[in-house]
Structure 1
Amino acid sequence: MKAIREARGISLQQLAKDIGRDPGFLSRVENGQQGAGAGTLHLYASRLDVPIAAITHEERTRDQDRPGSPHRDDLDPSAVGTDRSC
């Protein structure tokens, strides 16, 4: 969330003012210290002009099923680096 906001050049204070939320609250949400309700998330996404999935990290099922998706449980081992030294 924070990365998208910053990429748009919007300060936390400006976003808070625009959507009628406390900047401290939004900061905690962006840093994963507090959850936000659907209404706040929709306002946030709308103000940043992004789909709600962009800030909630939700993917449609078919996106998760596509080959190479980082969210698949059964990644093709050939798609992952072969360096096992870590």
Structure 2
Amino acid sequence: MKAIREARGISLQQLAKDIGRDVGFLSRVERDQQGAGDETLHRYAQRLNVPITAITHKEIPRDQEEPGTPERQHPH
């Protein structure tokens, strides 16, 4: 979440103001120290102009990796 926000050039303070949430709360959410409700996540995603899945999924499932991604070879 933080990386996307920073890539958009939006400060945590500005985001908190824009979506009506406390700066400390959003900081804890970004650091995975606190959960956020659906409404907060939707506001966050909407403000950053990204799909909700961009901020809620931490890993890309293996079946959604880019084609041609080499698999790790194990030494024999």
So what's the TM-score if we normalise by structure 1? 0.73
Structure 1 gaps, min length 5: 71-78
Structure exhibiting the larger radius of gyration computed from Cα positions: 1
Quick one: distance in 2 between partners of 1:17 and 1:10? 11
Match of 2:65 among 52, 55, 69: 69
Q: Which residue of 1 aligns with 2:53?
A: 53
Structure 2 gaps, min length 5: none
Paired residues, number: 73
Query: Per-residue deviation at 1:45?
Result: 0.2
Q: Which residue of 2 aligns with 1:81?
A: 72
What is the root-mean-square deviation of aligned Cα atoms in Å? Answer: 2.7
Cα deviation 1:12-42 (Å, max 9, x = unaligned): 0000000000000000000000000000000
Q: Identity across aligned pairs (percent)?
A: 68
Moved over 2 A (4+): 63-66
Query: Larger RCO: Structure 1 or Structure 2 (Cα < 8 Å, ≥ 6 residues apart)?
Result: 2
Quick one: distance in 1 between partners of 2:39 and 2:46? 10
